[in-house]
Structure 1
Amino acid sequence: MTGSIPRSLNGPAQTPQWQRRLWGLRFLFRPLETVEIRRQAYGDDYRVSQPDAKTAMVYFSSPEALEAIFTANPEQLSAGRGNQLLQVLLGEHGIVLLEGEAHQRQRQLLMPPFHGDRMRSYGKLIQTITAQVTQSWKSGTTFRVRPVVQSISLQVILRAVFGLEHGERYEEIRQGLTQMLDRFGSPLGAMLLFYPFLRQAWGNWSPWGRFLKSRQRVDELLYAEIADRRLHPDAHRTDILALLMGARDQDGQPLSDVELRDELITLLFAGHETTASALTWALYWIAALPDVRTKLLSEFATLDAEPEPMTISRLPYLTAVCQETLRLYPIAMSAFPRVVKQPIEIAGYALEPGTVIMPSIYLAHHRAAVYPNPKQFEPERFLHRQYSPYEYLPFGGGDRRCIGAAFALFEMKLVLFELLSNWKLTLVNPKPIRPTRRGVTISPSGHFKLQVFKDNRLTPYFSRSELK
């Protein structure tokens, strides 16, 4: 505590239950619009009541407040308790829901595969998968963007993380995971996460029953893969599952089968869905803004004929395009919620135990004082300034920052390089696309389409063959 008189948080006055529930549904179906309206009405940091009126929820987006949240003592704020709605999807032992020492143990075991030489080894794999997914395209092909980039990101996960090659189990897991995650791919599907009373298991007659069936099948396949690995260990494997199975904590203990399952599902959810959404947004902006594409192609032309993946990933303008994509429409609207365990003061506001803190990534990224013209797509802003982790936080912050952040950016850059080096992308419909809810994340509309063309001219577009 600072000793000064705490400020009072603005927010809606006490409202009847029906009105709170109406706002809850509005947030479910129009999430960005809802938080924008409230910020305009109440300021950067504001309070709202939960639909049950038993707990207060506080949105913070000022750098001062976000720094206090991400550097707070774990004894004061609980990060795991705020993520319980994900338990039905991720399990009880995933890093997202763990607290304290258990969380730190899992984090230390999971970090090595996503950095250094381990990550670099996946570069060629990402490029190969992108080429394979698009090899059937011909000049003039029209396609829905989301399914294509989702196919790429899922195959990257299955081969880099799960270590699976094409075969019967690969196909079964691919189909099962797609079905399981698609259950929450719309605002209506997301209601199953936000409203537990809708979770009625009536077999295939109910959405929840179909989700449980998909989850059970995926679990059977994952446990079968883990069992096979234990029976037939291979020291030469470099996939992330193999690395996790060989990892040991400070006490020499390995991850259990259940812990492995929960971490694999967590990595899939965090690394597959989110990367696909980010790539969809990036392709939209590149196709909608010709100057952006021209600058990218000019940057690509400075490379050797067969550039190394790490060389591609260090291109400044390509990096800025990915950063601006994640700024304008961050895939997660907020960092992981924190629940106050002990009285705490954040940015001059006194918070009582039980208060739910929402560190708003979206609102932080749309502060005009930090980002002039915040609604405009301007990659150049990242070429001229370096932002603090409390101003730019697409992967969250503190000890809950996404461990796969570097891998996600790496994958984004390589996929974009492969696509743009081989194809000219044009919008089928120039009408702006709207952000929509996809589970707990925000995604472009699933109906967004592009048309591709081969072009042999050197300007303004070139193909990969012309780089050689």
Structure 2
Amino acid sequence: MTTTSLPPGPRLPRVVQAGLMFTCGPRFLAACRRRYGSSFTVRVATMGTMVYLTDPADIKTVFAGSPRTFHAGEANSILTGLLGESSVLVVDEDAHRDRRRLMLAPFARDAVAAQAPLIAQIAADNIATWPVGTTFAVAPRMSEITLEVILRTVIGASDPARLAALREVMPRVLNLGPWQSLAIADPDLMRRRPWRRMREAIAEADRLLYAEIADHRGDPALAERSDALAMLVRAGSMSDRELRDQLITLLAAGHDTTATGLSWALERLTRTPAVLAAAVRAAQDGDDDYLDAVVRETLRIRPVVFDVGRVLTEPVDLAGRVLPAGVMAVPGMVLVHADPQHYPDPDRFDPQRMLGATLSPATYLPFGGGNRRCLGATFAMVEFRVVLREILRRVELETTSARGERRRLRHVIFVPHRGARIRVRTRRPAPAASTGVYRGPQGCPAGDAIDSLPPLRGDSLNTQGRTHGIV
């Protein structure tokens, strides 16, 4: 019989470790790594036993592992109460493979390129309402932009009344605080009075989404529609409930994550004047390479999601031990991205380091890895870059010497604790119209939905894995 064991880790009670993870996660994990080495065990109330891995060889093993052994959906099960039991995020093995295959079409190269002009227009309309000369939190504005983008491009909502209703209810469903997260983790709580408003919001969102699904099914021009829901309906193999679960998943995974990444980009740019000036020049000159580098560096220095993880269904030889079934193996994204062995002077916001860089999927993993790597990664990068470009071309941002904003964990997302406060000095003259077409890091048209990010060493790894993004 194989003897299993766990790496060392803190012996604090599970509830205490949970508190440390949710209040100061990056510092807690960094302290564990310093004390216990490249792999360590944390035991977190509501999340279970987690083995953090920071050695690229171990991370490669996880990402290349069999999806029958490394269960990402099970690791995401805490989200089932919101996303539904058929969500591509919470299923595993053959069910995940089949569901993911159906959902690739909306995120292919041509589909993404077709949406770029709409993304630019949505961003421009929102930026036009920003105050001048007043410090304000930009995170809510980013959320407005990304929600509108996903409602228009993924759901294809066109009925004005329904679109307005979705704009109102979806933030109440998706912006989860600690109190709401309890009910998502334990759906039975939804029946109780303290969570009545949340239950009602989800019910209203479901009503609107089912109405949109019904309209799509009955639309004689369905074949001409380019939104993601139309493509999923045309595939013809999902029930209304399954379609609802995928729509909520796309909304949850593709809205707040991108909005938070954009907020961090502005928070970092306004604290690094030289980088901001270079980014403005790039936006005005059409230098997409540099803007892509800003995006990639933002996602390195401020990863949006907490981590990536997989529940082991059987003992696995990993990190010099045989880890037991039932534990969660976690490639430590936050720790790896801050490792000076991979990124010299890791606390410096330096997009230059990303120009022409060949990044390893075991040391750069903002979109996870393997077959669970975010299938919306191309869409996210396009939206991030297009919106950032519109901001830099349309307003002049003031720089600040204020201390950087702390990372605050909201559900599974790291957000700026003050909402990424910025100040617009003045508006710039309206820029000439842009084609909005996404081009890859070397100026070539983007590749498919999985391979259009910067080149990764060992791309053969992109066949297994998991992420908190759209997977």
Q: TM-score range by the shorter chain?
A: 0.7 to 0.9
Q: Which of 367, 377, 396 is the aligned partner of 1:405? A: 377
Aligned amino acid, residue 102 of structure 1: A
Per the alignment, residue 231 of structure 2 pairs with 243
Partner of 2:314: 342
> For 2:112, which of 106, 119, 122 is the aligned residue?
119
**Compared CA separation, residues 93 and 446, structure 1 to 2 (3 A):** farther
The answer as to whether partners of 2:266 and 2:420 remain within 8 angstroms in 1 is no
The answer for the alignment partner of 1:223 in structure 2 is 210
Is 1:391 equivalent to 2:385 in the alignment? no
1:61-111 per-residue CA deviation (whole Å, 9 max, x = no partner) reads 221111000111223222211111100111001101111111111111111
Residues 104-128 of structure 1, C-alpha deviation per residue, up to 9 Å, x if partnerless?
A: 1111111121121111000100110
CA–CA distance in structure 1, aligned partners of residues 401 and 346 of structure 2:
24
CA distance, structure 1, for counterparts of residue 218 and residue 289 of structure 2: 46
TM-score, normalization by structure 1 = 0.86
Residue 202 (structure 1) aligned with residue 206 (structure 2)? no
Work out the CA distance in 2 between the residues paired with 1:91 and 1:226.
Answer: 16
Which residue of 11, 15, 30 corresponds with 1:21? 15
Whether 1:431 and 2:403 are equivalent positions in the alignment is yes
Q: Using the TM superposition, name which of 279-288 and 425-434 deviates more.
A: 425-434
Which residue, 44, 53, 68 being the options, matches 2:38?
44
What residue is the counterpart of 1:321 in the other structure? 294
**Secondary structure of the structure 2 residue equivalent to 1:30:** helix
Q: Please tell me the residue identity of whatever aligns with 2:407.
A: P
Please report how far the alpha carbon of residue 245 of structure 1 lies from its aligned counterpart in structure 2 after TM superposition: 0.5
For residues 28-39 of structure 1, the aligned pairs below 5 Å read 28-39=22-33
* Structure-1 separation of matches of 2:227 and 2:17: 44
User: Cα deviations across residues 296-343 of structure 1 (Å, max 9, x unaligned)?
Assistant: 22223433xxxxxxxx6xx221111100100011111211x2111122
Q: 2-side partners of 1:367 and 1:428: how far apart?
A: 27
5 Å matches for 1:350-369? 350-369=322-341
Q: Whose Rg is larger?
A: 1
Q: Note if contact 1:79-1:99 (Cα within 8 Å) is conserved in structure 2.
A: yes
The answer (yes or no) to whether the contact 1:288–1:426 under 8 Å persists in 2 is no
Distance 1:246 1:98 in 2: 22
Q: How much has 1:193 moved relative to structure 2?
A: 4.3
What does residue 12 of structure 1 align with? 10
| Residues 37 and 166 (structure 1), Cα distance of their counterparts in 2 relative to 1, 3 Å cut | farther
Query: What is the alpha-carbon distance in structure 2 between the residues aligned to residue 138 and residue 271 of structure 1?
Result: 27
Aligned equivalents of 1:123 and 1:75: distance in 2? 37
| Residue aligned with 1:245, SS | helix
> Is 1:155 equivalent to 2:127 in the alignment?
no
Please tell me whether residue 176 in structure 1 is matched to residue 200 in structure 2.
Answer: no
Is residue 119–residue 407 contact of structure 1 (8 Å, CA) maintained in 2?
yes
Partner of 1:63: 56
Per the alignment, residue 129 of structure 1 pairs with 122
Q: In the alignment, is the contact (CA less than 8 A) between 1:75 and 1:342 conserved in 2?
A: no
What is the distance in 2 between the residues matched to 1:319 and 1:263?
A: 28
Unaligned runs of 5+ in 2: 435-471
Distance 2:262 2:159 in 1: 24
SS of corresponding position for 1:454:
strand
2:216 is aligned with what amino acid?
A: R
Q: Identify if the C-alpha distance between structure 1 residues 141 and 164 changes in structure 2 by more than 3 Å, giving closer, same or farther.
A: farther
Q: Distance in 2 between matches of 1:193 and 1:226?
A: 24
In 2, Cα distance between the equivalents of 1:69 and 1:411?
29
The RMSD of aligned alpha carbons is 2.5
5+ long unaligned stretches in structure 1: 249-253, 304-311, 457-461
Question: Does residue 1:264 correspond to 2:242, yes or no?
Answer: no
Cα 1:429–1:91 shift into 2, 3 Å = farther
Identity of aligned residues (%): 34
Paired residue type of 2:405 = I
1:2-48 CA-to-partner distances (Å, cap 9, x unmatched) read x9x999622124x5xxx321121221222222212211221221112
CA distance in 2, matches of 1:197, 1:116: 37
Indicate the larger mover: 237-246 or 374-383: 374-383
